[in-house]
Amino acid sequence: MNLVLLGPPGAGKGTQAALLSQRLGIPHVASGDLFREAMKKGTGWGKEAQSYIDLGVLVPDEVTNAMIEERLKEPDCAKGVILDGFPRTIEQARALEGILAERGEKIDRVLVIQVSEDTLIERLSGRRTCRRCQANYHLLFNPPQKEGVCDRCGGDLYQRSDDKEETVRRRFRVYTEETAPLIDYYRRQGLLTEIDGERGIEGVQGKILSALSLSP
């Protein structure tokens, strides 16, 4: 099964994708996580992406598409994938269709998580991310067992620099202008399901499972 999670920054895509990945046994592929890994390792893609990410704008499509294409070729993606943060432009959506078509596959469903701007700001300001494995926490809504330490791998938690208020505002604008048109694009293809993201993490997961006809 190939799923796409759409939604503005802070909507809960990464949180829900991680839960779905455990449930379905298919990998969670997040373009933002791949870029952050590449920046940490100082690879070519990391160097190309850094200045765009710092500003809160999109990394050019050619770079992003090439990175995703390479990731989707890895053997763990053979049974399907949960994409989070990709595609973010119509051109990326077309590239994804091409990559999947080459192996006789397609997107099975696109879930768009809808949340008000006030909620997004509340979620992003409290988000903490593991430096080592990129797991996400929230100071109030999903705190780690031990302050500042990742439950999953013991890595230290930090606040992403692009979660600062000024950059967050630019990321929202970029979402509205460049990514939101994908909602209609996928609706026209009959692939879109809207998910009300204004509830707790488990409540949203329940809505997603029922949209996919999976038991809770």
End-to-end Cα distance, the chain: 18
The backbone torsions φ and ψ at residue 29, rounded to the nearest 5 degrees and listed phi first, read: -110, 110
Binder of ligand ADP out of 137, 172, 175, 186 (CB under 6 A): 137
Counts of helices then strands in the chain (DSSP H, E): 9, 8
The backbone torsions φ and ψ at residue 208, rounded to the nearest 5 degrees and listed phi first, read: -65, -45
Q: Which stretch binds ligand ADP (CB under 6 A): 42-50, 65-73, 132-140, 175-183?
A: 132-140
Strand ranges in the chain using DSSP code E only, listed in sequence order: 2-6, 28-30, 81-84, 109-114, 127-130, 136-138, 157-158, 192-196
**Cβ at position 126, least distance to ligand ADP in Å:** 6
Answer yes or no whether residue 194 interacts with ligand ADP by CB under 6 A.
Answer: no
Place of tokens 């590449």: 38
Interface residues toward ligand AMP, by CB under 6 A: 9, 31-32, 35, 52-53, 56-59, 64, 85-86, 88, 92, 162, 171
**Cβ at position 10, least distance to ligand ADP in Å:** 4
Please say which residue, 181 or 206, places its beta carbon nearer to ligand AMP.
181
Active-site annotation holder among 94, 109, 132, 160: 160
Binder of ligand ADP out of 200, 210, 211, 214 (CB under 6 A): 200
Active-site annotation holder among 13, 71, 123, 207: 13
Place of tokens 């791949």: 34
Please say which residue, 39 or 105, places its beta carbon nearer to ligand ADP.
39
Q: Which stretch binds ligand ADP (CB under 6 A): 6-14, 35-43, 73-81, 103-111?
A: 6-14
Active-site annotation holder among 71, 123, 171, 207: 171
Amino acid at residue number 201: I
3-state secondary structure of 116: coil
User: What does the angle CA 159 – CA 163 – CA 138 come to, to the nearest 5 degrees?
Assistant: 55
Binder of ligand ADP out of 2, 4, 6, 10 (CB under 6 A): 10
* Contact by Cβ (8 Å): 13, 113: yes
3-state secondary structure of 193: strand
Positions that interact with ligand ADP (CB under 6 A): 7, 9-15, 123, 126-127, 136-138, 141-142, 200-201, 204
Residues with active-site annotation: 13, 88, 127, 160, 171
